[in-house]
Each structure stands twice: as structure tokens, then as C-alpha cells.
Structure 1
């Protein structure tokens, strides 16, 4: 079993994304999940901070984790560091936890090295749950350090790279697969698809946006992508493994003389021709519209962006 430390901003979405790189994912407490297995692309996840070999699940108390470590069979040797953390307002003295667990490990033959240990034991407390795990993956957080404003071509309203990465993962991005964005804008989804090794195809009705997306993708990779001007309701592409589409926001928005819902309906109908998985993002729920166009809705998550905007994220599979 593995312990997954989630980012904690949206556990439902984080667990869904984790399921693209892990099997048997189950949420056990705020910002914590377990999995029965992980694959070699687990480092691609955006909404998981760390992964570890689960040693024990306990109550959220020092005594409980001490008892669990005392009883545990440990097949490791060398140096160790103990790191304890709490999620939100769980009332645990983490420094005391680290001292007591560290002392117990020293009694069992380990040496302590806080700078470059051979092993890191993590004690995590969330709600009424405690967990001990040996760290196996401390995931690269560089995706969170990037900003849309860092790109050669930028327009206001771009999605943060962390969320874009999570969405392309949900769409099925990985090496050997192709991800399509039929309303690609500045190309944020496509850039993250390329960063996890997928081929990327972008279409946008506006020539300037298509050109800007191409400029941004060229800054990421020399090849493995294609961007062109086109219509999301009459796509000039064949079959792809997955699609991410962030539709225009604003209930009064018009695109090529069509209201947004009419555009989304036509695009979803067209996407059934080219893919079996779509991750659809909008400023309103499209559950009924998706079902009416022949999709099943496996996930629908609402995320607050700011006071006047909620994002609705849908994961759709072809019925």
C-alpha cells in the first residue's frame, strides 16, 4: 500500500488525477489518500505532493504512531530523518512527534541524518487519521512555480499550469498518446501535455491565438505538437486518445455568432467522432448537455476561482 499526500485544495479532483498514475486510490482523510499500486509516471502528478510506502494507519495521536512504529517490521538500515506534518488544524505537536519517533528508530539501530538521510519516515495527521510512511517520491513542484505570464505569448484569464497539468492527466496524457485541445487559446494545456510526454494538437478559431499557442509550445519543445486555426465543431483531425477543452466564459459571450452553450453542444457532438475521453471546463455545469450529446459524466467538480467565477470541471467518457 502507498500513502498519497494530496495538495489539499480539492481532494476529489486530486484523487481522480492520482488514479491516472496509481491503482486502488481511496481518500482516507482531508489531503490524504491510499493506493494499492503506483506506476513509473507517478511523478507527473500535479495535485499530489508526496508518495510513500505505507507503514501504518493509526488514530491521530502521538501514542498511536509510537505504538504502530514499535510493532512494525522494518527491513531497512542506515540513516533516517523523521518528518511530521499536520493537515489544516489538526492539533498535534509535530516537533515532539519527530523527536519521539526518531528516538525509537535510534533504539532500533538507525542513525539520524536530517540533511541527506538514506530513508525519510513521514508521520502525517489529518482529522482523526494518522499515517506512517517511508517516503518514495517527493514530487517535482516546478509546475507550481511557473506562471502564465512567463510564456512568450500571454493573454489574461489563462489557467494556472498546476490545474492544466491535472486536467491533461485526467484526459489520459502520457508518452505515446495524443491530447487535443480544440479551443486551445494560448496553449497552456498543450504545453503540459508535452511536458508529460504526450503528443499535443491545438485548434483555435482565432488565428492570433493559434499563432500565440504555437509560439508558447515552441518554447517548451521543438516537436511533438501541432497547432492550427480551425473550428471545434468541424475538427480537421482523426482519432486521439483524449481531449481537454476550456470553453469561453461569460453567459453573454458570443463565439462566431453562436452562444456558448450552442457551441459546446456542437463541439461535444463532434468530439465523439475523434475521442472517447473529454475533460470539459466551463463557468457553469454542462452535465445535462454532455449527457444529451452522448457522454457519460464520471466526474463533476466545482472550484471557486474568485467571487464572480466558479469553474466546473467535467470528465466525460463516450457512452
Structure 2
């Protein structure tokens, strides 16, 4: 079993993304989940910070955590460090927890190395639960160096890389897969799909956006098999079942400029075309598009609401055939 430390404020959405890199993800407490197995793809997750081999779970107090560690079998050698974390509103002295748990490990023959330990014990307190685990892998937290404003081509309203990465992961982005964004804009989702090893393909109605998305992809080192083309999301230039996953951010509160289609017709057509070319889609919008998705033949696996600011809530639906 494994301990997953989740980030953000929406644990359900974080767990959904984690399922792209872990098996049988189950929420335990705010910011915490367990899984029966994990893969190296945890390194590419946006809203899971760490995965640790689970030692056990107990009450959210230091004495209980110490009792759990004292009774646990430890089949490791080398130096150790203890890192304690209190999630959100949980009140615990993390320094005291690290000191007490570290003392138990020293009594069991381990040497402490806070700078470069061979093993790191994670002690995470949340609500009424404490979970202990040996750190196995961490996600690469370099999203702050890839803000939309830092791209060669930028337009206001571009999606934050964290959300774009999560959407790409949920759609199935990984080494060897092809991810399509039929309304790619500046290419935020395409960039994140490329950075986790997928082949990103984009379509957009505006030539300016196509040029900008390709410029951004080139900037982030995407391979020659990736790129964006000008086209119509309701008439995609791809064969049936040629795409592994689709992600798109539907236009917000305005009419489409594609062939004079109304927004409802545009999104319905895009959902129908996505259903033709792929078996999985993630759609984002300022309203729920699940009725249109079902009409296009999709099954709605899950739906999330993410508050962006006072005037904007993003509705995210995960769809499968």
C-alpha cells in the first residue's frame, strides 16, 4: 500500500488525476489518499506531491504515530530523515513529531542525515488521521517556471500549467500516447502533454493561435511528430480511433467564430468528433456540458467544479465510451 500526499483544494479532482499513475486510489482524509500500487508517472502529476510506501495509519497525535513506528517492521539500512507535515487546518507540532519519530529510528540503529538521507520517513497529519510512509517518489514541482506569461506566445485567459498538466494526465497522456486538443489556443495542454512524453496534436480555427501554439511547442522542445494545424473542431482531420485522448476548453459565454456556429452547436459537434477519434475525452467549460456529452454517446465518468475567481467556475467532465 502507498500513501499519496495530494495538493490543491479539490481532493476528488486530485485523486482522479492520481489514478493515471496509481491503482485503487482512495481518499482517506483532507489531502491524503492511499493506493495499492504506484508507477513512476507519479513524477508527472500536478496535484499529487509525493507517494510513499505506507507504514501504517493511526490517530492524528504524536504519541500514536510513535507507537505505530515502534511496532513497525523496518527492512531498510542506511541513513534516515523524518519529515512531518500538518495538512491544512490540522494542528500539530511538526518539529516535535520529527524529533520524537527520529529518536525512535535512532534507538533502532539508524543514523540521521537531514541533508541527503538514504531514506525519508513521511509523517502526515490530517484531520483525525496520521499516516506514516517511506518516501518513494515525488512529482517534479517546476510549474512555476512555466507560467503562461513566460511563453513566447501568450494570450490573456491562458490556462495555468498545473491544471493543464492534470487534464492531460486524466486524458491519458504518457509515453507512447497521442493527445489532441481540438481548440488548442496557445497550446497550454499540448505543452504539458509533450512534457510527460505524449505526442500532442492541436487544432484551432485561428491561424494566429496555430502559429503561437507551434511556437510554444517548439520552445519547450516538443518532437517533430507534434504540432497544431488550422481546422474545425466539428470536422477533425483525423481517422477514426486514431487518438488516445482528447482535452478541450470550450469557449466561454460567447458565440463561436467557426463557420458561424452557435456555441452549443460547436461544442456538440466537437464532442461528437472527439467520440469518433478517441475513447476518452476531458472537456472544460464555464458551464456543464454533460448533457451534450451524453447525446454524443459519451459516458460521464466524473464531473468537477473548480472555482477560479468570483466570476468564473470551471466545470470539468471526464468522458469515456
TM-score (norm 1): 0.97
Q: C-alpha deviations, 1:221-246, integer Å up to 9, x for none?
A: 24230211000000011210000001
Q: C-alpha deviations, 1:52-83, integer Å up to 9, x for none?
A: 11001111011111110010000112211111
1:95 alignment counterpart: 95
1:262 alignment counterpart: 265
Q: C-alpha deviations, 1:233-274, integer Å up to 9, x for none?
A: 000112100000011112x33333222122101111111110
2:230 alignment counterpart: 229
1:316 alignment counterpart: 319
**C-alpha distance in 2, partners of 1:78/1:44?**
28
**C-alpha distance in 2, partners of 1:191/1:80?**
37
1:284 alignment counterpart: 287
Which blocks of at least 5 consecutive residues in structure 1 are unaligned?
Answer: none
SS at match of 1:254: coil
CA offset at residue 299 of structure 1? 1.2
1:9 alignment counterpart: 9
SS at match of 2:174: coil
**C-alpha distance in 1, partners of 2:139/2:211?**
33
SS at match of 2:95: helix
More moved, 176-185 vs 285-294: 285-294
1:158 alignment counterpart: 158
Alignment of 1:56-135 (within 5 A): 56-135=56-135
More moved, 26-35 vs 137-146: 137-146
SS at match of 1:278: strand
1:137 alignment counterpart: 137
CA offset at residue 149 of structure 1? 0.6
Q: How many residues align?
A: 317
CA offset at residue 145 of structure 1? 3.3
Deviation above 3 Å: which 4+ runs of structure 1? none
**C-alpha distance in 1, partners of 2:297/2:284?**
17
2:212 alignment counterpart: 212
Alignment of 1:290-309 (within 5 A): 290-309=293-312
Note if contact 2:80-2:110 (Cα within 8 Å) is conserved in structure 1: yes
Note if contact 2:305-2:313 (Cα within 8 Å) is conserved in structure 1: yes
Note if contact 1:189-1:244 (Cα within 8 Å) is conserved in structure 2: yes
Aligned-pair RMSD on alpha carbons?
1.0
2:31 alignment counterpart: 31
- Check if 1:193 corresponds to 2:207: no
Note if contact 1:194-1:224 (Cα within 8 Å) is conserved in structure 2: no
CA offset at residue 144 of structure 1? 3.8
More moved, 99-108 vs 258-267: 258-267
SS at match of 1:255: coil
Which blocks of at least 5 consecutive residues in structure 2 are unaligned?
Answer: none
**C-alpha distance in 1, partners of 2:145/2:102?**
32
